[in-house]
Amino acid sequence: MSLSKVVLPVAVGAVMALVPLAPQGSATGAPSSTSAASSSAAPTACKGARTCYVDVSVAQIWESPEKVRAVDAKALTNPVDIRGWFAAMAPDINLRRDVPGETQALYGGRVTVVDTMTKDGVLWDKVVVHGQPTPRDAVGYPGWVPDRQLTKVRKKAPTGSTAERVTRATAWGYGSREALATGARPKGGVEYSFNTEFAVQPVPGAPSVVRARANDGSPIYFDRAAFAKVPTSGVTGEDVVAEARKFLGLDYLWSGTAGFGYDCSGLTSQVYSALGITIPRDSQPQFDAGGGAVPPGSAAGEWITSTDDLRPGDLVGFGSSTSSVTHIGIYVGRNAQGEPMMINSPRTGEKVREEPLANRPFVGATRFIG
């Protein structure tokens, strides 16, 4: 994702009237008195709170409430329907190209609320998303999110649990072991993204299952194989490439930072994050971090100027100059013909793929792994 996105005009009538939604079940499939899905008599999830947490599997962070379109309705609910949102946009590539999004935030992710507004009866929070460094704000990535998708509550991890993240593109979690065993999605299953972190515990007598904790402390059951601890050392460029290859064939989505669809820098930043290395959210800042311009919270890198010096895992930048980087990918090595290759999420209407660097104007690379 580049900071220089051009927003095309939206067709007349595309802006939706944001009618308040009826109360729904929590994102875990279990009732929650503190979630945005509480009864209408309860206070809103984050009104008055400065620190809040994402309470849906993936929260789209919008440019502004005024720019949200009718087609975006399924991305505004709790529980959220990301795949339904994709399907609603599928008939028209322009709807996907013109998503008025800034970024996305994963379940349980921390945000700081800096402002609120009500639009057509819906409460919106202006937030900064922690863990997504950017020169735009020293705290995190800015944007707007429906208040109903946040919660004030984030229960402490129980004794004996470990912090682990989803290692698949997506993983289904269920409110009971029985539902997990049958894959009974209508009974409260929720699809969570790659790199979503939970406190997990083993389940006695069921080595293939782990019990995770929702924001409100209620249990979510997952396949044990869908989780792993974040590495604390020894990460290699080959590890970066291996993680990126999990997403070959995944659709591009502007502002995407989840395993349902990535933009170019959403893919690179999330792959690095899953390996324990926090880098800037967007392509230009990712590139600039190699030249000393490192936003707060980000790892520093080093610039590589020649394709002859590239190593697997380096982030390769493309654009008209080093100060106008509009695309970024992950260098994987050379193919049988000796061409330098990358994995990247190219553009709207295309899928994550491996292709030659020569297809774009290379301006240099940033190395975050020595």
Quick: pLDDT tens for 149-174.
999 999 999 999 999 999 999 999 99
Q: Rounded to whole angstroms, how far apart are CA atoms 194 and 47?
A: 29
Mean pLDDT of 57-65: 98
Q: Rounded to whole angstroms, how far apart are CA atoms 119 and 96?
A: 23
Output the pLDDT for position 48.
Answer: 77
Ramachandran area for residue 195 (φ above 0: left; ψ -120 to 50: alpha; else beta): left
Output the pLDDT for position 19.
Answer: 35
Closest CA to 301 of 229, 200, 201, 370: 370
Output the pLDDT for position 324.
Answer: 98
Chain-centroid distance, C-alpha 319: 24
Higher pLDDT, 35 or 267: 267
Q: Rounded to whole angstroms, how far apart are CA atoms 276 and 106?
A: 16
Residue ranges in the chain assigned as alpha helix (H): 82-89, 93-97, 177-182, 237-245, 264-274, 283-288
Task: Please name the residue that has the structure tokens 């789209």.
Answer: 60
pLDDT at 34 over 50: no
Closest CA to 251 of 264, 242, 260: 260
Per residue in 275-296, pLDDT tens?
999 999 999 999 999 999 999 9
Per residue in 235-271, pLDDT tens?
999 999 999 999 999 999 999 999 999 999 999 999 9
